[in-house]
A and B are shown apart, each in its own frame.
Chain A
Amino acid sequence: MYVLRRLPSLIATLLAVSILTFLMTSLLPGDPALQILGAENATPEAIAAVRAELSLDDPLPVRYLHWIGDALTGDFGRSYRTNEPVSQAIVERLPVTAEIGLLAIVIALAIAIPVGMLSAYRAGTRTDKVISSTSFGLLAVPNFMVAILLILIFAVWLGVLPATGWVNFTDNPVQNLRSALLPALSLAIAEMAVYTRLLRTDMIATLQQDFVTMARVKGVSNRRILFRHALRPSSFSLLTVAGVQVGAIIGGSVVIETLFAVPGVGRLLLEAVLVRDLLMVQGVALVIAVSYVVVNFTVDILYSYLDPRISHGRSAARV
C-alpha cells in the first residue's frame, strides 16, 4: 500500500526534524541558567547547579538522546517559569492554533477554488484581470495589517465579531467560532491569493489539454468540464502548496495569536522564546515541526488519491 511504502521516509524526516529542532533551540545565544536565575541570584555555584539539573554540560548527542527519549513518552519537562508541564501547555494550546489554521485553510480554499476557476475560464478578460490584480494586491499586504483592518471593520465599526479573546469550543461552540473567525480570516487572505493564482495557472494549462477538447466534442457542458474534468487534474500543485503553506500559517499564527490575544501555540512559543524558557521552546518547536511534517505526509497520501497514476505505481512522466 502507498501509505506503507511512504512510512520509512516519514520516520527519517521526523528524526531529522527532531535533531534540527533540538540543535537550533540548544544553540540559542545566552545561558539558559542565567535567565532562569535572574541577574541578581546568578552566583557561579547556583548557575552550576541549574546547569547540572538541566544536564546542560553533557555533550549535545547525549542531551539529545535524553530529551527525545523523554519526549517520546510525552514528557517534555516543565516550564521553569510556571512549573507547568510543557506537554500540558501544548495540549491546551495546540487545538486553538489547529482550529484557527484549519479554518483559515478552509476559508481560503472555499474562496480560491471557485475564483481561481472563474479566472482561468475567463482568462484574459476583465474579470480575470480584476481577480489577478486583487490577488497580487492581497499578497502584498502583511497579515498583521489585514488583522488590524478586519478588527477595525468587524469589531470596531460593525461590532459583529469580538476583537480579541478566546472561547473554548466545549464551553460555547458558537462563541468559539466567532472568536476564531477574525484570526482565521487574517491568515486566510494571503493564502487565498496564493491558491487563486496557482489554480488559475494550472487550470489554464489543463483547459488547453486534449482531453478537455475531447470532453467538449462529447457535448459536455462547460460547467461539467470545469468541475468534473479540469478541476482534479489542475489541483495537484494546489494541494502540494497548501501543505507547504501550513508552515506559513504556523509562522503567521505567532503574530496573529498575539494580536488577537488568542491562547495558541504560536503565542506560547513567542512568550517562551522571549523569556528563554528552554524546555518550553524545545517542546513547542518540536510539536510544531512534527505537525508540519505529518500534515505534508497526509497531503502526500491525499495526492495519491487525487492522481491515480501515483497509487498505481506507474510513472506519471509518460503523460
Chain B
Amino acid sequence: MTASQKEGRANEPLLEVDDLRTYFDTPRGIVKAVDGVSLRVDRGKTLGIVGESGSGKTVLSRSIMNLLPKANTIREGSVRFEGRELTTMKNKEMRTIWGAEMAMVLQDPMTSLNPVTKIGEQITESLGIHLNEKGKVAKAHAVELLKSVGIPAAERRLGEYPHQLSGGMRQRVTIAIALACSPKLLVADEPTTALDVTVQRQILDLLESQQTQRNMGLIIITHDLGVVAGRADEIAVMYAGRVVERAPTRELFARNRHPYTEGLLRSIPRLHQPSHSRLQAIPGRPPDLVDPPAGCPFAPRCNYAQDKCLTETPVLAPHAAGHEAACHFPVGTTAGQEALARNVAAGRTAAGTPLDSTVLATAGAA
C-alpha cells in the first residue's frame, strides 16, 4: 500500500451506512424493521443511536454487522467499512473482519457469555483466530486484557465460569473479548440496560476510556438519551425503523427539532445521571412495522401533528451544520410553534389525539 493510498483510507469514514433497509418476510407481512437509515462513524468518534423499544436499533446494528440470517430477510442499501462494501460480503470474508476489525457488546452479559466455557478460553479464542496467539502468549494477553477492563485478580478469573462473576464483571469480560484484537469499530447494543445504576456508569466510563485510548469508532445503542448525553459526539434518534433526527450531541440538546426527540429529552430526569427507567414519558405506542400507514409514523403521538402529517411522509432535511430532522413542523421553528398553537386551541391534534394537560400548561406558559 502506498502512502497516498493509506492517506486516502484514513480520510474516508470508518463506517458509512447509506439508505439501509432491512425487512423481514413474516406470515403477518413484511416487517420494515429498518427503513432507509444513513449514518456515518469516523475513527475515534462515538455515535449514539437512541430510540424506544422496537424502533429497530438491534436490527440496525445486526444488519450493519452482517449478522442477520439470510432466510426471510430482505436487505437493501449499502454498508461500507473503510470503503469495503459489507452487504454483499460472504460469511467467510466477514469472519476476517468480525472480531478483528469490528466487534460487538450485547445487552445482557448473563446471556452473551457461554455458560459452560471458562472465561479464559472465551477470550483467547479470538486471539488464536486472528492473531495466531496460542498457549502462554495468548494467556498472558488475556490477563492483560482483563486488567485493562478493570477486573481484579485477572489470572484467577481465567479459570472461572461466567456464573461465578457479577453482572458488571461479566460485562467487563465481554468488553475485554470485544477489544481483544483491537477492533476499529465497536458496536455496543444497550451495553448497560441490564446492569444497575452505579455499574452502568462504570461500564460507560470504561467504554469511553478504551475508545479514546484505541482511537476506535464506537456506536452506543440505547433507549435512554441520558446514557449518551455526555459521551457521544453525535446522536441519531430512531423511530419506527428510521432516523428522525441526527445532530452533534450539543446541538441536539440545545436545539432539538423533532417532536419525538423533544419527548425523549423530557423523559430524562437529570441530564448527567443515567436514568434507569424505560421511556414512558411519551404516551401511545410505536406504529406497527407491517404496512405502516401513510404520512409521518409519529403523527398519532405527536402534539404538533397537522393534516399534512397524515398524508406526507417527512424526510430528513438539514437545519444546521450536521443537523437533520424529518418533520414538517419542527420544534423551535415558527411553523412548529404555529402548529402547536393550532392544536392547543383545538384541544386535539390533526390525528385526533387529545393534548394532555402538561402540554397545554407548557404551551400556555410559553
Contact = CB atoms under 8 A, between A and B. Distances in A.
Interface of A: 124, 209-211, 213-222, 228-229, 232-233, 306-309, 312, 314, 316, 318-319
B111 interface: yes
B126 A210 contact: no
B115 A210 contact: no
10 closest Cβ pairs, A-B complex = A219-B99, A210-B112, A218-B99, A210-B111, A219-B98, A218-B126, A211-B114, A219-B95, A217-B104, A308-B161
Contacts of B126: 218-220
Contacts of A312: 161, 163-164
> B67, B97, B107, B117: which has the most chain A beta carbons within 10 Å?
B117
A217 B102 contact: yes
Contacts of B130: 219
12 contacts: A213-B67, A215-B114, A217-B67, A218-B99, A218-B177, A219-B130, A233-B116, A308-B161, A309-B163, A316-B163, A318-B163, A319-B162
Interface string B59-74: 0001001010001000
B112 A214 contact: yes
A214 B163 contact: no
B112 A309 contact: no
Contacts of A308: 115-116, 161, 163
Contact of B106 (A213, A219, A228, A314): A213
B103 interface: yes
Nearest to B98: A219
Contact of A319 (B97, B98, B107, B115): B115
B320 to A, nearest CB: 36
B100 interface: yes
A239 B232 CA distance: 48
B114 A319 contact: no
B177 A214 contact: yes
B110 interface: yes
> B95, B96, B98, B116: which has the most chain A beta carbons within 10 Å?
B116
Nearest to B183: A217
B192 interface: no
A217 B95 CA distance: 8
A209 B109 CA distance: 12
A309 B98 contact: no
Contacts of B133: none
A221 B125 CA distance: 11
Contacts of B163: 308-309, 312, 314, 316, 318-319
B174 interface: yes
B98 A218 contact: yes
A310 to B, nearest CB: 10
A69 to B, nearest CB: 44
A218 B106 CA distance: 13
